Structure 1
Amino acid sequence: MALNVYSLERDGEKSLSKNFKVKEFRCKDGSDPIFIDSELVRILQKVRDHFGSPVIINSAYRTAAYNLSKKVGGAKFSQHQYGKAADIYIQGILITKLAEYVETLMPNKGGIGIYPIKTGVRNCAFVHVDVRATKGRWKG
Structure 2
Amino acid sequence: MKQSSRSKLARLLRQFRREDGVGMTTPTLWIGSLLMLIIALQAGIWFLSNTVAQAAAQAAYTTARAYESSAGSGQQAAADLIQSMNGYLVDVTVDVDRAGDQVTVTLSGSAPSLLAGVPLPPIEHTITGPVERWEPAP
- The question of a shared fold, defined as TM-score above 0.5 by the shorter chain, is answered with no
Query: With CA pairs under 8 Å and 6+ residues apart, which has the higher RCO, 1 or 2?
Result: 2
Bigger radius of gyration among the two: 2
TM-score, normalization by structure 2 = 0.30
